[in-house]
Every structure is written in C-alpha cells, then in structure tokens.
Structure 1
Amino acid sequence: MFRVTVGKVANAMRGTVGITSSRVVAVRYSHGAEESAEDFDKRYEKYFNRDGIDGWEIRKGMNDLLGMDLVPSPKIIESGLRACRRVNDIALAIRWMEGCKDKCGDQKATLYPYLLERVTPTLKELGIPTIEELGYDKPELALKSVFDM
C-alpha cells in the first residue's frame, strides 16, 4: 500500500517539479541508520544470553544469522553454543557449528580454521565435540570415485 502511494506521489512530483527517478528510489528505500559490526555482535550476544531462552528461540536466532550474507563472529558463535548448552541440546550445537562452517563458503580453507581456533576453548569447556571429531566432515557411505580405482 505504501509503495503504491509513494509511486503515485513520485510520478506526480516528477511531472511538476522535475525530480529524477534515482532520487525517488533513494527516498523510497532508505531506512534508519546502519548498525556497526560491534553493535550487531552485541545484539546477537545479548539475544543468546537472555534468561529463559528456549530451544525454539535459539533456533530462530541461529536461522536468522545463517540466512544473512555473513559469517558469524566467534563471539556470537560462542554465545550460541552456550545457549545450546543451557537448554541441553548438543545436536543443535553441532548443527550450529556445521552451519557456521558452511557459511564460510569458498573461504572454508582459511576462515573455518580461524573460527575453530577461536571457539575451541569454549567447545572444550562445554564438552561439545567438533564436527571433525565426530567424523561429520567426511561422507560416511560415499562410493569411491571411479577415477581413483
């Protein structure tokens, strides 16, 4: 509804005042001040450190983070792992680490070891095994390639 109204006002202004469409688009899609990286990290750390957070809310926060175009910082990963431990959901903690590994994309060889190095003390403290310790980094029932025979 708002978009239609703004479009009609823009068309009317374009004819009378001579405003170009680039100015109208800039006004139409602008929204609030940008959040700094530190504020973003603090917001998600605070979200995962809330008292009384349940498994559904943890999953929602993790899903929101993994849906963004970013790799979570080690501080956010640690607070997510601690939240998983508070609700005693080790499977969610392992999936969280697996999702963070997948978010590294083509930088997996350089970025994931850095994340793992920073998060390993927390994993040891909480008693959560890494993906590599569980063997989830290699397919279990994969067939050998015909080119390797």
Structure 2
Amino acid sequence: MVKRIMIFIEGTTFYTKFPIFLFSKYGYKPIGNAVEIVNGWQKQGYEIYLCSYVRKGRYRFIKRIIDFYGMKYTEILCREKGEQYSEIVERIKPNILIEDDCKSIGGQKEWCITNVRNELKEGILSIIVPEFKGIDDIKINE
C-alpha cells in the first residue's frame, strides 16, 4: 500500500517573512525541526507531497527554496489558475494531510481539507497545527 503524506509548506513547515518571501529564498525559514522530520518520514517509506500557496508559474522558485534547505519530497504541488486546494488533495489522495490552522487568513474555511468531498475526506487523517508553530509535536506511527 502506498503511504502518502501531504504537507502545506507556508505556515506549517516554513516561516515566511514579508515581503522578502516574494522574491528570495531567505524569506523562507524552516520551523523547528521540519526538515529533519519530513526527511525521516520519507526514509520510513512515505511519499511526501509538499503543497505551496504559490501558483504553478512560480514552481521553480519554491522548488529552489525546498532544495536549498534539503527537504526531501516526492512532488511539490502548486495550484493552477482557478484550482482549489481541495482539488489537489482529491487528486493526490493522501493518507495524512498536515496543514496549519490558517488563523491569520480566516481559519477553518481556508483549510485544504475543508472542501474535500466527504467520501474522500473519511480516508484522510487530517492534522491541523497552530500557524507558524511547526510539526515538531507530530508523531506518525507506521
């Protein structure tokens, strides 16, 4: 069985510093031990899908940042024009979805999991962490 973890990048595993994050990798900084934790899950055999709020046109930018910090991944996901985060979740069908609580932008209505179809949502372990607090406290057992 394929084991997939989808993780939102900004606010969950990386701090972003405005306005630097718009044009420089130095505007992104890993939160806590995010890089080591994600790399550990990858070593355990999980496929790692990192989801960014940057659009597809800025894919190379976000890829350079993730590669700079050495975070391992299967794929980096960016939305196409008009695409919703829930559509990405439905396409990837992760076993586990990790995202922050989106407190600064409206809360639960902004979560990736919120608008996922119920029949798919039931098969996803949704883990919501406080915005910019990181994933250090998450334990995933095989």
Q: TM-score range, shorter-chain basis?
A: under 0.3
Identify which of structures 1 and 2 has the higher relative contact order when contacts are C-alpha pairs closer than 8 Å and 6+ apart.
2
* TM-score computed with the length of structure 2 as normaliser: 0.28
* TM-score computed with the length of structure 1 as normaliser: 0.27
* Structure holding more helix per residue: 1
* Structure holding more strand per residue: 2
Higher Cα Rg, which structure: 1
